[in-house]
Amino acid sequence: MEIMELKGRLPNEILESIISRGISTLTPPQELSISAGLLNGANILVASPTASGKTLVAEMACANAIIAKGRKAIYIAPMRAIVAEKFEEFHSSYPYIKSAISMGDLDSSDQWLSEYEMLFVSTEKLDSLIRHGAPWLNSVGCIVFDEIHMLSDMSRGPTLELLITKLMQVSDAQIVALSATIGNDQELADWLKAKLVKSDYRPVKLQKGVLEGSKIYHWENGAIGEFALKGSSKTPEFRLVEDTLAQNKQLIIFYSTRRNAESGASKIASMLSGKLSDDEKKLLDQVSQSILNALEKPTSQCAKLALCASSGVAFHHSGLVNVQRAMVEDAFKKGLIKVICATTTLGYGVNLPAHTVLVRDLTRHNGVTAERISVNEVLQLFGRAGRPKYDTEGRALIASSKRYEVQELYARYIIGTPEPIDSALGVASVLRMHILSFVAEDFLNTIEGIEAFIKKSFYGFVYGNDSHIKGVVRQVLKELAEWDLLNEDYGKLVATRIGKRVSELYIDPLSAKWMLEFMGSATDEVSTLYLVSNTVEMRPYIRPTEEAEAEYVFYKDRFGSELLYKYEELSYGYYNPVEPFATALMLRDWISEIDEESIIKKYHVTPGALYAKLSNADWILYSAIELAKLSHVSARRIVDIRVRLRYGIKAELLDLVRLEQIGRVRARRLFDNGIRTVKDIRENRQKVESLLGKEIASKVFAQLG
């Protein structure tokens, strides 16, 4: 279908925007969506491969709701990187539509969003906005759920599922759900009361196959054929790198662990020396320096990544800090980075395609044993292969270390059927937060109402197990009542003052119970940080060190084993209190101004993991302060610890970091040179300029008037 055939059905502004981007013809999924009633407000589930045009389907529905119907639209994605990317794309295409992005503060109603027409949010952010009673929800005419197959993800799935269930009940907005290929798409569409748009269309043809030795095995003329790779390396993945670079193409290799990804990148980097142009080397040197200096003081991981990048290779995993990941992605998009060695998390982030994708590791350790990854996950990773703007075809491969396994792997992953996605609900620990929020919002206030709501979820739709649902709901309500977060008043469930605040803070009720009980006993740095670390939100905890084991014994004797082990009774699954205690010691080292590299080595963490823990701890400290207000407990120590954690400083630097431009390193430099307070800064301009430089010093003094 030609785009102009939609004239009269779509507002001219939308047509002009689409045509201005060089799009003149609809893809099959787009055409099928139009036929299914996309522009008439019908709920639509689009299940098709990456790059098949799903985003334009969502865009047309949102823009149509805003321009033609005068209503708002919301775009929801499970990952921040996707939300940010889609916001930039939409804002660029429709600069005259007031668009906003909101992913941060989960304890805010963000009233300013009412002024905007197109909202881009993370799943958790929209859930939080509803808890805070966002008044503009009734004006929403279209809601897009991207990556809806994430329903089966244990960490993100439950919030997504209950959010959809709630919105289907309280909103008349059109739902547009986007999914990769899944095994039970019709079942999911039926739950959403949506029309299924299913297509295997892909603008870039994919050659799928199995890499073994120096050959690719793929389907050819009714049988598995062979294709020999160029190059000389005896290692299959490195041979594939040689072959891909010989075609002047780029490659992403997926590994099961961060260590494997880093090792692969280092080895490939040594292969690429001498294969880069002088201009590429100069530009890569700049990229390398930026990566190296992403932190105030480079770590060994920074140095390793920078060295790889200088050779046109990078590793990419959750252990990198966000700015480094962004640098790698940008350099890859520009064609400077030729090969990325990544963990599978890259398959779910920003749009970062390559000509060739190799899933090298098909097994992953689950903590107990090694297990095969799913067909769905492999297909998601395959979606990174083939660049619509640059390639007419791409390669998507899995690796086999044994010739006799090729046929079995081919049958399972290349031509096999995707698994059905499943609900992650049905476990009491998953439902605690959400059931409390139902009551706190006065959305549901009876046991029967909550049970009926859960039955409308995807879990209830698929299983319909009334007895199990009732058992789980009643178990959760019993716990919440025992923890004084809600009570029953003449048959109506009512959240207590603290229960309502816990729901608004978007923390697990179990974490709140722990902090409320332990808060009065947190009288020094370690116990305050243990208060923070021993929460659900700080999982997974740090692996215990010998120091943690020894120091834990001291604190157990000081506070009593009953208090330190009480949490174990409330936990679900394996729990070792020394693990969160080790996490507390890591945070203590941070506020003792121990450098990142020393902390990383001591606790066996990555810079990305360290900063993620610091970010989570900041939110839990804020929540602890809020709970302390309601409990009439002094929060002074917690407030000081929060500031110190934010900057990574000892208490003596608290006054100096009140000023912008003065962080951990500059504050220490000033303090050690006799400038110990803001007053000292005022009285020693020349000395401050010599320590900070004139440019930074001028910004500091501008704040002093």
Q: Where are the beta strands (DSSP E) in 183-241?
A: 195-198, 205-212, 215-220, 223-228
CA atoms within 13 A on the CB side of 393: 7
Residue ending a domain, among 504, 525, 559, is 504
Answer yes or no: is pLDDT of 563 > 70.
no
CA 248 to chain centre: 32
Strands 313-316 and 215-220: unpaired
Question: Does a structural domain hold residue 359?
Answer: yes
Read off the pLDDT band of 353 (50, 70, 90).
confident
CB 176 within 8 A of CB 446: no
Question: Does a structural domain hold residue 421?
Answer: no
CA 140 to chain centre: 25
In the prediction, which pLDDT does 650 show?
A: 96
Residue ending a domain, among 165, 198, 231, is 198
The per-residue pLDDT of the chain, averaged, comes to 91
In the prediction, which pLDDT does 569 show?
A: 44
- Cα 93 from Cα 284, distance rounded (Å): 31
CB 610 within 8 A of CB 667: no
- Cα 205 from Cα 344, distance rounded (Å): 22
Tens of pLDDT, residue by residue over 616-671, are 999 999 999 999 999 999 999 999 999 999 999 999 999 999 999 998 889 999 99
In the prediction, which pLDDT does 574 show?
A: 56
Read off the pLDDT band of 222 (50, 70, 90).
low
In the chain, the number of structural domains is 5
Tens of pLDDT, residue by residue over 387-433, are 887 888 999 999 998 988 999 999 999 998 999 999 988 777 889 99
In the prediction, which pLDDT does 365 show?
A: 81
Tens of pLDDT, residue by residue over 65-100, are 999 999 999 999 988 888 999 999 999 999 999 999
In the prediction, which pLDDT does 548 show?
A: 87
Answer yes or no: is pLDDT of 562 > 80.
no
In the prediction, which pLDDT does 561 show?
A: 47
CB within 8 A of 640, min separation 6: which ones? 651, 654
CB within 8 A of 92, min separation 6: which ones? none
What are the tokens at 581? 């205690």
Percent of the chain whose pLDDT exceeds 70: 97
* CATH code for position 467: 1.10.10.10
Tens of pLDDT, residue by residue over 378-396, are 999 999 999 887 888 999 9
My answer on whether 247 and 143 are in the same domain is no
CA 397 to chain centre: 26
Tens of pLDDT, residue by residue over 95-135, are 999 999 998 777 777 888 899 999 999 999 999 999 888 88
* CATH code for position 124: 3.40.50.300
Question: Does a structural domain hold residue 529?
Answer: yes
Higher per-residue confidence, 440 vs 553: 440
My answer on whether 542 and 561 are in the same domain is yes
Strands 486-489 and 492-495: antiparallel
My answer on whether 238 and 376 are in the same domain is yes
My answer on whether 189 and 322 are in the same domain is no
Strands 140-145 and 72-77: parallel
